Amino acid sequence: MTYTLKQAADLLAAGKTSAVELASDYLARIEGAQGALNAFITVDRELTLAMARKADASRAAGNAGLLTGVPIAHKDIFCAEGWKTTCGSKMLEHFVSPYDAGVVERCTAAGLVTLGRTNMDEFAMGSSNENSAYGAVRNPWDRDAVPGGSSGGSAAAVAARLAPAATATDTGGSIRQPAAFCGVTGLKPTYGVVSRYGMVAYASSLDQGGPIAQTAEDCALMLNVMAGHDVRDSTSLEMAKEDYSRDLNQPLKGLRIGMPREYFGAGLAADVAAAIESALAEYRKLGAEVVEISLPRTELAIPAYYVIAPAEASSNLSRFDGVRYGHRAAEYTDLNDMYEKSRAEGFGWEVKRRILTGAYVLSHGYYDAYYLKAQKVRRLLSEDFQAGFGQCDVIAAPAAPTVAWNLGEKGDDPIAMYLADIYTLGVNLAGLPGIAHPVGFGANGRPVGLQLIGNYFSEARLLNAAHQFQQATDWHTRAPAL
C-alpha cells in the first residue's frame, strides 16, 4: 500500500501505522523496482530504519511534528551526513558527506525519514537523466522513455510510488520538466526561498531546491519544511515564515491565467497542446479567466542560459581537482598531470562540454561579447515577465514541447536536448517560482504536465491553483504499473 505525504502523516498521527512499518514497506518497493527503473543511487536500509525508530520514539514521547516518521527520498545533490553524496558523478563516487545540507537538516529536524538518494544527471547537467555515471533512469510510465532531468530519479521514484515525496533541484527546469514527464507535481520556488547550503553547486545564480510529490498539497507541506532563511547561504532570503498550504482551499474565481502567444505556436507538439487546452478549459470551469499575453524575448532564454550556466559551472566545478576530495587518478607525473587526469577520468562528457563552454565565454576577449551580453538579456527576460504579470496573476505554459522522448533519442545531439528547455529556462533566469502538475497523457501513453509560473513569492497562489485543479480531476492519482 502506498500513500501521499498527507495520507502517510495522517495514518501515523492516528496510530494506524509506524514509521518503521512505512519505511520497511517503501524499502521493499524500492528493492523490487530498482532493477527496472534505476531511480536510486544509494539505499542504506540500516540508516533508514534507524531514522524511523527515532521518529517512532518521538511520537511515543509526544514530541512529534506533522510529518514525523513520513518517508521521503533526497536527490543525490544534497549533502547528508553519513550518506554517500555522488551528484551522479564518478568524481564523487566514494564521497560520504560529513555534514547535512540546509534542506536535509530541516527535513531531519521535521522528523522525515530518508529512504535513499535518488539518481540524477551528473552535477545536475542534463534534461533526461541519461548523463548519470550510474546509468540512466527509466520512466515508470514507459521504460523506453527518459524520466526527464536532472531530477529524474526523484520524479521517477514519486511516480512509481517508491516514495511519497522527494527533494529535487531546478537550475533550468530540472524539477518541472521531470515532474511533467513522470506525471507528478513539482514546485520550483522563488530563488532564495530554499537554502543552497550543502546543495552541490552547478550554477549558483540559478540553482534552487524544491519538492516533487504526487499532489500540490504535498508540495506545500514539503515547502513548509524546506523553506527558510539560512545564514550559511549568502543568497538565502530573510523573510517571515509562511504556511504555503494556507490558501489551498481558496476558490479560483477571478484568477487571471496568462497564455503567452510565444509558448503556444510552432514547436509545441499537438498532443501536448491538446492536453494543456483541456486543462485550461477545466481552470475556466473553476472560475479562472484565461487571457493572452506576450513574452516577446522568449527565444533568447536558451542562448542566455547556455552562456550563464556553463560560465558559473566552470567556476564551481574547479574545486574538483583530485587534491582535497573526490576522484584522484591512480598514476600521474606531477601536479598538473594529476589535475588533468583526475578531471578527465572523473567527469562525464556533458559536464566536460559545459566546463569548456563556460571557460571559453569567461576568457579574455569573450567575456564582454558573451557573458555580459547574456546577463543583459537576462534582465530583459525578467522585464518581459513583469510586463506579463501586469495583465495576469499566473502564466500558463507547457513544461516541455513534447512528452518524454525515447532513451538515446537525443544523445548525439546536445543542441536538440537544450532546445527542449525553451519553456522552463526563463523562469530560472528571472528567479521566479513555477509549478508543474499532470494534466493528461500524450503519445504512447506518456504524461503531459502543465506549468504555472508566478510572480516573486507567489508560491501559495501557485499551489492553490494546482490544488483546486487536482480537487476537480484525477490525473495526479494515476500511477504506472510496476
Q: Output the nine-digit C-alpha cell for 221.
A: 507541506
Judge whether 240 and 196 are in contact, CB under 8 Å. no
Taking each helix axis from N to C end, the angle separating 349-361 and 301-316, rounded to the nearest 10 degrees, works out to: 100
C-alpha pair distances (Å), 387 with each of 173, 259, 384, 395, 443: 22, 13, 5, 12, 35
Q: Output the nine-digit C-alpha cell for 406.
A: 525515447
C-alpha pair distances (Å), 177 with each of 56, 129, 134, 165, 181: 35, 11, 21, 16, 6
Per-residue DSSP letter, 26: H
Choosing from 18, 132, 150, 458, which is the catalytic residue?
150
Phi, psi of 327 (to 5 degrees): -65, 140
Cβ neighbour number for residue 374 with a 10 Å cutoff = 20
User: Helix or strand or coil: residue 180?
Assistant: helix
Lookup result for grid cell 487571471: 256
User: Helix or strand or coil: residue 101?
Assistant: coil
User: Helix or strand or coil: residue 318?
Assistant: helix
Choosing from 18, 97, 174, 458, which is the catalytic residue?
174
> Amino acid identity of 168?
A
Q: Which helix (H) or strand (E) holds 438?
A: strand 434-441
Judge whether 433 and 220 are in contact, CB under 8 Å. no
What's the number of CA atoms in the CB half-sphere (13 Å) around residue 14? Answer: 8
Burial class (CB in 10 A: 0-12, 13-18, 19+), 281: exposed
Calpha distance 76→44 (Å, rounded): 13
User: Which residues have a Cβ under 8 Å from the Cβ of 234 and sit 6 or more positions away?
Assistant: none
Active site residue 382: no
Q: Output the nine-digit C-alpha cell for 389.
A: 504579470
User: Helix or strand or coil: residue 175?
Assistant: coil
First to last CA, the chain: 13
Lookup result for grid cell 513539482: 186
Active site residue 150: yes
Active site residues: 75, 150, 174
